[in-house]
Amino acid sequence: MYEAIVIGGGPGGYVAAIRLSQLGKKVAIVEKEEFGGTCTNKGCIPTKALLTTSHLFSEINEKAKKFGILVDNVSYDLSLIMKHMQKAVSMSKKGIEFLMKKNKIDVFKDKAILKDKNTILLEKSGKQIQAENIVLAHGSVPNIFPPFDKVEGIWTSDDVFKMEKLPQSLLVIGGGVIGVEFATFFSSFGVDVTIVELANHILPYEDNDVAEEVKKGLVKNKVKIIEGEKVEEIKRSEDKYIAKVAEKEIEVEKILLAVGRKPNISEDIKSIGIEIERGVKTDKHMRTNIENVYAVGDIRGEIMLAHVAMYEGIVAAHNIAGQEIEMDYSAVPSIIFSNPEVASVGKKEKDVEKEKVNIYKFPVSANGRARTMEEKLGFAKVIEEKETKKVLGVAIVSANATDMIMEGVLGVKYNMTSHQIAEAIHPHPTLTETLLGAFEGNFAIHI
């Protein structure tokens, strides 16, 4: 009998398995497809590989001449772009497989079916394996619902990674993270892109000023953005789709449904009595209502981010090993690889009582390093509590925002004040000085 069996080799699952092994536990992991889960195979890694190519293509076209670099007839080869993407995915998968061997974790490439709280049936082999503890890390699947599930050929994010040619026109349904990232990629290569978002603005979980800045970047790439409306009807005819939005018809070659993902909850999970709300319900120790069964990552249906799943896997592992630790969601960073990038953590401006906070912003255009890069769009924003001066939230819209947010994460997590962060000497000239300007608040030097 194993001390723990992990079902699912995505970010939450493989990290839980590794930490359990590091803590001296005898561990097995069951993965029915490929290691890395959605993130490595159909999410984080392939999208960022694609976006790296589109960012470079845009940089050459928009900035090369300004920098004195003369490049003629810049073009692209989609097959080589996809090859780069596949290489990044392959290397990530092989890395995880190596870590399984290094940590002496038993790997079963099979579909796991829960028979009871200690027993798993491996569907293909017919073998049963048992464990004192089980970690559910089944991940998520694209969210597809009427009328979109009735129309043949509509893409989900999974399908984009199989494409052999770029469409001439694309309708993106959903202006959240996935929709904006794919709109950024396709529009960079000249695809005629339209985004339809049901909420009042794209990136509805971010503040309006953040969304507006990203919108400027998309509009610069000729993306058409329709907000506060929904796709009412879709018709397909031969080589095109006709979508009805706000009494108008939009004709496109392809449609991408980007309205998020839902927990992958199989019938065997329900049958053993696991409590389910939006997803599998757990406490802060990552335990379900069945004491020896834990759940991490997207199957919980809460914060569906790879880095959250990873830390949930670590928390679950330590609790299985007898160390009572709790998950802390107070400083979870959110990142978006748009152009400019977006990163945020902690409280949003839309969620705070304005009279109880100070809000400071510093524009990218006032940053010396940004000027050397020909970057003008964006800002850093800090929300601090008036009474204590503690940092409650940080948002960045900027080139390299996704790499800069950790300063804000540490500030929020460890209840630091804006002054404490501002008195740390920031290197010059760097984009991090945009953040410094926001943390300086009313004492900002460079505006």
**Calpha distance 108→446 (Å, rounded):** 58
**Distance between CA atoms of 375 and 369, rounded to whole angstroms?**
9
Given the structure tokens 């540490």, which residue do they identify? 410
DSSP state of 125: T
Q: Do the beta carbons of residue 57 and residue 187 sit within 8 Å?
A: no
217: amino acid identity, one letter: G
Task: Give Cα separations from 248 to 36, 232, 251, 253 (angstroms).
Answer: 41, 10, 10, 17
Q: Coil, strand, or helix at residue 310? A: helix
* Annotation marks residue 428 as catalytic: yes
CB-CB neighbours of 217 under 10 Å = 20
Give the whole-angstrom CA distance, residue 4 versus residue 20: 8
Q: Alpha helix (H) ranges present in 29-68? A: 37-42, 44-63
d(CA 14, CA 21) in angstroms, rounded, equals 11
In whole angstroms, what is the distance from residue 114 CA to residue 133 CA?
Answer: 12
Catalytic position from the list 55, 84, 419, 428: 428
Distance between CA 61 and CA 72 in Å, rounded? 10
Torsions phi, psi of 382, nearest 5? -120, 130
Say if CB 335 and CB 402 are below 8 A apart.
yes
| Residues acting as catalytic residues | 428
